[in-house]
């Protein structure tokens, strides 16, 4: 009888040790994952003011990519580390999707909306964007806002050296030498209104491709209406009456505090002028340029 009692005691002890004390929280974790999967898998059109809906064929490659990410985020197994330790998985119940904190505006440098869509739906091009806005104001969304598009390339802003992971990319159908249409800019403003509200993106973080990659890019061109965007709350703009920069104001340091990569100071000055001066795109550091840099520097 005593042997039976000990056997039963040990059996119960083993069963108690083998019970997962985190089973309830793991269930919550799995439920939240399924909800987030629905969020990033959603391809339903989102209404924007004064923008007609656009229907496109859905690329099966997009679905395949989503499946890859789904498999990654649902992985909960043990991972072997180089020091011989195996990680142990216990799911937290407190998490959500990471939100974008930048918006990067580009011009396509191509001949049409359809050409850009073709470029972004071919695997070999290795380039994409979240949104494309046509010359007539139509808006095409090509990637969920929470996912990482390949639009910024090797760019940086301040200490952020992976802009793709923190931003939404918007491409404007424009070859770089033509004026942006009123319909296109109105649709852009409508889209920015939605994105800024959805993700609480700071005005200072709405930038051009040239701002984050001054040695490589010139888009959007000097014809892009940054002042109009800033007046609507999408970006910042120099003071109407420029204050004279102090004699000891360090332009290089000022540009870096704004966010520019100044390893090539000439390229940084050109990129700054492309955004904030626009009527004289050179690397000449004259008094107007110094004072304009100082004006933007003060708004950081």
Structure tokens at 154: 């090797």
Buried/exposed 148-187: b ≥16 CB within 10 Å, e otherwise: bbebbeebbbeebeebbebbbbbbbbbebeeebbebbbeb
Q: Are 288 and 242 in contact (CB under 8 A)?
A: yes
Q: Residue 73 is inside which H or E element, if any?
A: helix 60-73
Structure tokens at 283: 């690397």
Q: Which residue has the tokens 């989102």?
A: 46
Q: Are 257 and 300 in contact (CB under 8 A)?
A: yes
**Mapping DSSP to helix (H, G, I), strand (E, B) and coil, where does residue 192 land?**
helix
Q: In a 10 Å sphere around its CB, with 0-12 CB exposed, 13-18 middle and 19+ buried, how is residue 244 labelled?
A: exposed
Query: Nearest-5° angle of CA 77, CA 94, CA 75?
Result: 20
Question: Which residues face 132 on adjacent strands?
Answer: 140, 171
Choosing from 55, 82, 124, 171, the catalytic residue is 171
Closest CA to 214 of 270, 131, 287, 273: 270
Q: How many CB atoms sit inside 10 A of residue 98's CB?
A: 10
Catalytic residue list contains 171: yes
Catalytic residues: 171
């Amino acid at each position: 009888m005593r042997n039976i009692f000990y056997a039963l005691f040990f059996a119960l002890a083993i069963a108690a040790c083998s019970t997962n004390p985190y089973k309830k929280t793991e269930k919550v974790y799995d439920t939240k994952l399924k909800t987030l999967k629905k969020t990033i898998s959603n391809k339903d059109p989102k209404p924007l003011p004064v923008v007609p809906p656009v229907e496109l064929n859905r690329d099966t490659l997009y679905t395949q990519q989503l499946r890859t990410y789904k498999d990654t985020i649902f992985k909960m197994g043990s991972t072997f580390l180089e020091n011989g330790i195996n990680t142990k998985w216990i799911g937290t119940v407190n998490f959500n999707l990471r939100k974008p904190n930048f918006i990067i505006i580009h011009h396509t440098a191509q001949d049409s909306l359809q050409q850009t869509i073709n470029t972004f739906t071919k695997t070999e091009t290795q380039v994409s964007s979240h949104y494309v806005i046509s010359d007539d104001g139509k808006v095409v969304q090509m990637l969920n806002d929470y996912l990482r598009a390949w639009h910024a390339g090797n760019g940086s802003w301040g200490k952020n050296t992976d802009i793709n992971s923190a931003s939404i990319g918007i491409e404007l159908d424009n070859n770089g030498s033509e004026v942006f249409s009123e319909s296109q800019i109105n649709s852009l403003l409508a889209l920015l209104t939605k994105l800024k509200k959805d993700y609480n993106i700071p005005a200072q973080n709405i930038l051009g491709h040239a701002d984050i990659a001054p040695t490589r890019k010139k888009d959007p061109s000097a014809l892009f209406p940054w002042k109009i965007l800033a007046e609507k709350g999408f970006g910042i703009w120099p003071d109407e009456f420029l204050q004279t920069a102090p004699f000891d104001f360090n332009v290089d340091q000022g540009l870096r505090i704004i966010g520019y990569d100044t390893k090539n100071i000439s390229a940084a000055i050109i990129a700054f002028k492309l955004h904030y001066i626009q009527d004289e795109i050179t690397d000449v550091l004259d008094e107007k340029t110094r004072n304009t840099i100082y004006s933007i520097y003060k708004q950081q």
